[in-house]
Homo-oligomer: A and B are copies of this chain.
Amino acid sequence: MYITSYENKLIKEIIKLREKKFRDLSNQFVIEGKKFVDEIPSSQKINKLIVSESFALAIKKNANVFILPDKLFSKISDTKSPQGIMAICEKKNFNLFDLPITNNSLIVAAENINDPGNLGTLIRSCAAFNADALLLSQNSVDLYNPKVLRACTGNIFKLNIATNLNFIDVLPKLKNKGFKIFASSGKASKNCFEINLKTKSVIVIGNEANGICENVLKLSDDLIKIPMANNVESLNISAAASILLYEAYLQRR
């Protein structure tokens, strides 16, 4: 299908999908770029594929394809020099309690992450270090925010991510299933490499400015810290999470 008008319904749909409200309503999100589209697994539903005229020749994906003049594509693109391909994907709702649990399941629970770049980086590190799932609390930045997607690209398809969770409700259930809850905190007395992360573990990461809330800290089995210079207060949360995941990955090799 060939579209030339900025007033077209599809164009309006793509622009509306920049807003969380509409992503939630339609249960869809948009990804952009050749590599990102190439990384969509067959299990992920693509509702529509949108390409620029100059990109149209190179299409392989089996989806509902819409072709746009390059100029119109640029108008709806999220980047300055678009490659010419984007996809509207169906959101997949992952239920934490569908997760197959093994003796060494590794879960990351991130409380109220605010910065989209941090969430994207965290998703990438969770995928890199074989976390089984990422849990996001209520009040986190939207998982399908374009900046989050740009920061994690195809890794979003490699990880089980549950959103909008109440940790006060969820963490005790994981404890009942045998998980140990480790909260990352500068006030911890134990270093991360002194903690056994080889068994069923949940690593809890707090908000950029406020850390982990009191009620969640109370549910933890242990506080863990990353050793560092005394005159530095803390690391960026996604850097801290990446180091803890690296540590768990090394222990599990």
Contact residues of A with B, CB < 8 Å? 115, 117-118, 120-121, 124-125, 127-130, 151, 155, 158, 193, 226-229, 231-232, 234-236, 238-240, 242-243, 246, 249-250, 253
Contacts and interface: CB of A to CB of B under 8 A. Distances in A.
A246 B226 CA distance: 8
Contact of A250 (B115, B129, B155, B227): B227
A234 B239 CA distance: 14
A126 to B, nearest CB: 10
Given A117-B115, A158-B231, A250-B227, A151 B243 contact: no
A229 B117 contact: no
Nearest to A226: B246
Given A115-B117, A128-B229, A242 B250 contact: no
Nearest to A232: B128
Contact of A236 (B125, B129, B231, B250): B125
A120 B118 CA distance: 12
B236 A236 contact: no
A235 B193 contact: no
Contacts of A155: 232
A125 B234 CA distance: 9
A151 B246 CA distance: 22
Given A125-B239, A158-B232, A228-B249, 18 more contacts: A117-B117, A117-B118, A121-B235, A121-B236, A121-B239, A124-B234, A124-B239, A127-B229, A127-B231, A128-B228, A128-B232, A155-B232, A226-B246, A227-B250, A227-B253, A238-B238, A242-B243, A246-B246
Contacts of A231: 127, 158
A232 B115 contact: no
- For the complex of A and B, 5 pairs with smallest distance between CB atoms: A239-B242, A128-B228, A121-B236, A128-B232, A117-B117
A37 B127 CA distance: 38
A124 B151 CA distance: 19
A242 B234 CA distance: 12
A238 B125 CA distance: 11
A84 B243 CA distance: 35
Nearest to A193: B250
A215 to B, nearest CB: 25
